[in-house]
Amino acid sequence: MKNKHHVLVFLAVVTLILSILACNAPQTPTPNRPPDTVTPYSPATAQSQDAPTTEPSESAPTEPSGEPTETPTPTPPPPTSTSAPTLTPTPPVSEGPLDFEEPRWVHAWRPREGGGVWVTVKVQIIGGAPPFTISFDGSFHGTSTERLYLLEFSASGCGQIVHNITVESADGDSKTKDFWLGGDLLLWCD
């Protein structure tokens, strides 16, 4: 009786192992299987005039012959072409009233060919919505999507620097400020 019990336990363990292996075996694709198709969604509309309609036929009932008969499946109407939705641009999101910190010192400078220097100052933009348009002394200087804009202009001599900057925001806001850099901040005038 004890051997019979061991044989049954052994067979149960072997069956369990085989079923685990069968479940984890990689699936091989069926070679004759048609490829998957994706049907685009189209909202229910009135049937087109080209689409076949299925109406019940008024023929006499037929006697069952004992053999299974194939019921014809109605052909679905051809998919209608739908155009992609039109995207409307969203207005830029403002981060509050537009302002900027006017330059208070020279960020960098380099000699200019023919005399003078190229001066770089930082313009820190606050609020508004990017992209920003920056003008220097009434003339277009550049655009930026960043809130820190490096503005470069030419200067000569060691006197004070006085200019103005205008920043325009994509949300339509605009701010103009004058800035002044005294002679003691002009690093090329040592």
Domain residue extents for the chain: 99-189
Output the CA–CA distances (angstroms, integers) from residue 114 to 27, 117, 119, 154, 156, in the order listed. 77, 9, 15, 11, 11
- pLDDT attached to residue 122: 95
Q: Please state the pTM of the whole predicted model.
A: 0.51
Task: Read off the pLDDT of residues 64-93 as tens digits, 9 standing for 90 and up.
Answer: 555 666 666 777 776 666 666 676 666 677
- pLDDT attached to residue 41: 55
Distance CA 5, CA 66 (A): 51
115 with 156: CB under 8 angstroms? yes
Distance CA 87, CA 90 (A): 9
Query: CATH says 99-189 is which class?
Result: mainly beta
Question: Average pLDDT, whole number, for the chain?
Answer: 78
Answer whether residue 130 shows pLDDT above 80.
yes
Which residue pairs from 46-50 have beta carbons closer than 8 angstroms and sit at least 24 positions apart in sequence?
47/77, 48/77, 48/80, 50/77, 50/78
